[in-house]
A and B are shown apart, each in its own frame.
Chain A
Amino acid sequence: MKSLRYTPAVLSAVVLLVLTSLMMGVRLEPSGVGLKVSLADPSSLFWIAAGVAVVFFFQLFRAPIDQGLSGIKQQLPSINAAKLIKATEKKEAKTLLICFAVAGLMIWPFFVSRGAVDLATLALIYVMLGLGLNIVVGLAGLLDLGYVGFYAVGAYSYALLNQYLGLDFWSSLVLGGFLAAFFGFILGFPVLRLRGDYLAIVTLGFGEIIRILLNNWTTLTGGPNGISQIPKPTLFGLEFGRRAKEEGNVPFHEYFGIDYSSEYKVIFLYILAVLLVIATLFVINRLLRMPIGRAWEALREDDIACRSLGLNPTAIKLSAFTIGAAFAGFAGTFFAARQGFISPESFTFIESAIILAIVVLGGMGSQVGVILAAVIMTVLPEFAREFQEYRMLMFGLMMVCMMVWRPEGLMPMKRPHIKTKSSRSESGSPVKTASLAESV
C-alpha cells in the first residue's frame, strides 16, 4: 500500500519516546539529603507505550485518517447553525424562550441539593467573568492576560471597604465595579497603544503586579493569609444567618416566620448570581447595538479602516477595556461575598488562563458559546472527580486543539448578516429578498 508512511511513523514514535523517557519514565524522589531516581510505576510506563503506539499508527495511516476527518469537518458547522437560526428566528418565540429559561433557572434550585446550587453559583461567576473578558478579547480583539487582576480588585475592594469602613455588599458591589473599571482605565490608558501580543504580555505583567502587591502589602491586605469573615449579602437588610450579626437586624427566617434553614442562604446567593448574569447580558447586548459596540468589532476587524472613518482607536479600546474590567469587578465582589474569605491565591495567572480558555472554547465574541463553555468548564470537573487532577492539563491541550482545528470556537458568533436569495420566479430578472438576522 502506498498510503502507508513508515519513515514519519517511526520518527514520530521515536520522538515521543525521547520526550517521555526521562520525564514520565522516571520518578525523582528525595532521599535523605540526596536525590533518588527510580523507574516510574507501571501505569506511567504503560501510558508511554500506549502513546508511542497511538502516534505510530496514526502517522502510519495518516492519509486515510485525514480524508475521514475532512469529511466530518464539512458536516460539523452546518448542524448547529441551521437549528439555532430557526429557533431564534421569531421574536416572540425568542422572548418566550428567554422567559422560560429564566423561570427555570429561578425555580430549579429549590428541588436539588445544596451542593449543586453552590456549584451553579460558581459556574455563574465564571459566566460573568467569561462575558466580561469576551468584550475585551472576543469583541474588541485585545488579548488581556491580566483579567484576573480586575477580579482581584473587585474582591479586595469589598473585603477592605467592609473591614475598614463597614460598607455592606450592595454599596460595595457598585463601588467594586467602579474601582475595577477605574483600574482598567488607568492601566489601559498607557498600554492600549501597543500591538496585540505586547499588550497581552503587559497585561499579564499588570495582573502579576497586582497579585504580588496584595501578597506583600501585609498591613492592608493581610498578605498571603488573606481576609476572612467577609459578610454575606443581605436582602434589604435581612440577614441569612441563624442569628442577626448586627444589632437591630432581623434574620430572614424570623422576618417571614419560617423555620431556619441554611439552604436559603445558598439559594439566595444563587439567585443573586443569576440576576447579576442577566444584568450583565442585558448591558452587553445593549452596548453591542450602540455605536460603541459596533466600533469594537469594527476596530478588531480593521484598525486602519476604522481610523480613516474618524473613529478614535484608543478611546474605543479603552472603553472595551474599562467595561470589561467593571464586569470583573462585579464578579469579584460577588466572589468575595460568596466565599467569605479571599487571599491572593485565588487570583493567579492560572485563573486568567481559565477565563481565557472559557472565551476561546465558547467562541470569541459568541455570548451563548461563552455561557455554555463556562458551565462546561466548571461543572464537568465536578462530575468526574478523578479528572480533577488532569483539569489544567486538559485545559491546555484544549486551547491548543481549538486554535489548530476550530479557532472560531464551539459556537461561533453569528454576525448580523444579510442573506440574499435569488429566486427565479419572474422570468429573467432574479428578485433579491433580503432578510436581516441579528446576532445573539
Chain B
Amino acid sequence: MGDSGFYLIQQLLNGLTIGSTYALIAIGYTMVYGIIGMINFAHGEIYMIGSYIAFAVLAALAMMGIDSVSLMLVSAFVISIIITSTYGYAVERVAYRPLRNSNRLIALISAIGMSIFLQNYVRLAQGSRDIAMPGMISGGWTFGPEEGFHATVSYMQLIIFAVTFIAMTALTLFISRSKMGRACRACAEDLGMTGLLGINTHQIISITFVIGAALAAVAGVLLGMYYGVINPHIGFMAGLKAFTAAVLGGIGSIPGAVLGGLILGVTEAFTAGYFSTEYKDVVAFSLLVLILLFRPSGILGKPEVEKV
C-alpha cells in the first residue's frame, strides 16, 4: 500500500468521524419526523447549544482546578445532556405543541422562527465571535510507512466512535425493549390510534424531542471538542447536513439516519480531500437534492420500514 492508500484511509477515518456525529444529530430529525411528520428546523440550534454548555462546563471545571480528563468528560456530557434536553422539551412545548393539528407549512415556519430565535439568543448571550478551547485529548495512533504519508487516528476520534456506538446501542435498546420505546413505535405507526388506546401521546412526543436533543447534545460535546472552536452559527449548517443525512438514509428510520450520516460524512471528507474544501457543502446539498428527486424515500426508507 502506497501513500495514496494511506491517504484514502485517512480520509475515510475523518469522514466516519464527522459522519457518526451527523448520525447522532440526524436521529433527532428522523424520530420527530417519524412521529409527527414535521421537520424540526431548530434541531441544529439545539446541537449548537449543547456545544456551548459543554464548553462552559469544561471551562468551569478547569478553573476549579480539576484536571482528571475522564471526570471532565463525564460531567460535560451529563450537564450538557440535561440542559439541552430541557431545551428540546421547551421548544416542543412552546412552538410546536399548539400547532399540532395545523398545516405542515405552518409548523415548519414556526420551527424556522424558533431556529432564528435560538441562534440569536445565543449570539446575544455569548457574542457572535468564535470561542476556542485548547484540545484536552491530544495524541493518536499512527500507522503506515516510516517515510511518506501515514494515517493517524487521534484519541479524540476513537472517543467519538466509542461514544457514538454507546449512544446508538442505548437508543436501540430503549426503543426495542422498554415500555416507553414500544409506545414510541406505536406512535410512529399510528398516532391517533395510540392515543385511543390510552397512551399519553403528548408525553411520547415530548420524550421524542428530549431524546433527539440529548443525542444532539452528545454530538455537540464531541464535535465541539473535536474542532475546538464554536460560534452561534454552527448549528444552521450542522442541522442542514444532519437533515440531509436523515433524508439520505430514509427519513423516519433510525438505522437509515446512521447509514445516511456515515455516507454523507465520508462523501464530504473525500470531496474535501481530493477536490476542494470550499465545495464540500455544495456536494452535500447536491446529494440532498438528488436523493429527494430520485428516491425521496431514501436508502432504507421503505413504506413498511420500522419508524420511530
Contacts and interface: CB of A to CB of B under 8 A. Distances in A.
Given A393-B117, A404-B99, A18 B83 contact: yes
A393 B282 contact: no
Nearest to A40: B125
A167 B70 CA distance: 65
A30 B296 contact: no
Nearest to B228: A35
A23 B207 CA distance: 23
Contact of A216 (B95, B278, B293): B278
A37 B56 contact: yes
A212 interface: yes
Nearest to A16: B90
Contacts of B154: none
Nearest to A20: B125
B125 A24 contact: yes
A61 B247 CA distance: 43
Contact of A197 (B38, B52, B110): B38
A33 B276 CA distance: 30
Nearest to A391: B120
A208 B109 contact: no
A396 B113 contact: yes
Contacts of B279: 212, 216
A190 B104 contact: no
Contact of B281 (A35, A208, A356): A208
Contact of B288 (A21, A35, A202): A202
Nearest to B89: A15
B108 A143 contact: yes
A: interface residue count bin: 35 or more
Contacts of A200: 39, 105, 108
Given A197-B38, A197-B104, A202 B112 contact: no
B114 A400 contact: yes
A206 B288 CA distance: 10
B59 A349 contact: no
27 contacts: A18-B82, A23-B52, A26-B56, A28-B59, A28-B126, A35-B62, A35-B134, A37-B56, A37-B63, A44-B125, A191-B292, A197-B39, A197-B104, A197-B108, A201-B292, A202-B289, A205-B285, A209-B285, A353-B116, A389-B124, A393-B117, A393-B120, A396-B119, A399-B110, A400-B94, A400-B110, A403-B107
Interface of B: 38-39, 49, 52-53, 55-60, 62-63, 79, 82-83, 86-87, 89-90, 94-95, 98-99, 102-110, 112-122, 124-126, 131-134, 236, 240, 243, 247, 276, 278-279, 281-282, 285-286, 288-289, 292-293, 296
Given A35-B59, A40-B125, 10 more contacts: A193-B293, A195-B296, A197-B39, A201-B247, A201-B292, A202-B289, A357-B113, A392-B120, A403-B107, A404-B99
